[in-house]
Amino acid sequence: MVFNPLTLTPVLYALLAFQAGALSSEVTLIAITAIALYLIVPLLFLIVLKNAGRIESIEARDRSKRSGPLLVGALYLIVAIPIMWYQAQASETVVTGFAIATALNALIFALVTRRFKISMHVASAAGFMAVVVTAALLSGALLWGGWWTIIGALLLIPAVIWARLRADAHSRMEVLAGLLFGSMVLPVELVGLHALGMFF
């Protein structure tokens, strides 16, 4: 439960801002803003939906009840783009590019979920690894922590896969779909944004 889409995104924002040359004060501000926008607000939204009986748990395991909250989340993340841009200075292009990719990713995920159930936890873990590698390739240097960051991100994937299967939250096909989604979609988005001058 700790390593989920809501907690990993703020970590990536901090790593990317640091990689883009932001001072520690800017990295801290971006991390705090990302925690508020990408962790606290979405979590409160899920708690409200659960208390209202709209979803059975904050994980929203029933696919038919996922697409609504995911679409709302995607629209919310679009609104978050200018807020993240405003917080960044030295890392403005990178932070804004990642905010665009995050919103686009959520929108694609919401549309796919209307037809298929995919493990968001596994997609997030795989996406974390994919962003770490893609950012390193595009910037020409390893992110903060170097190889330890890559090894940690890599080890996270099988741990999350095991946990989701162990909890009977997903089938093997749903976990595999999450792995493929996270590994492929975010890098394509980030490379596309890079080509437009919006990411490293």
What's the structural domain count of the chain?
A: 1
pLDDT > 70? residue 56:
yes
Q: How far apart are CA 84 and CA 37, in angstroms?
A: 9
pLDDT > 70? residue 60:
no
Question: Is residue 119 a part of any domain in this protein?
Answer: yes
CA end-to-end span of the chain: 31
pLDDT > 90? residue 162:
yes
Residue 13 belongs to what domain range?
5-195
pLDDT > 90? residue 97:
yes
Tokens at residue 200, please?
């490293």
Q: What is the mean pLDDT of residues 50-74?
A: 76
pLDDT > 90? residue 73:
no
- List the Cα angle 126/155/8 in 5-degree steps: 50
Confidence of residue 189 (pLDDT cuts 50, 70, 90): very high
pLDDT > 70? residue 30:
yes
Largest CA distance in the chain: 48
Question: Is residue 200 a part of any domain in this protein?
Answer: no
Residue type, 10: P
Question: Is residue 101 a part of any domain in this protein?
Answer: yes
Question: pTM, whole model, 2 decimals?
Answer: 0.89
Using alpha carbons, list the distances in angstroms from residue 177 to 45, 48, 76, 121: 26, 28, 25, 11
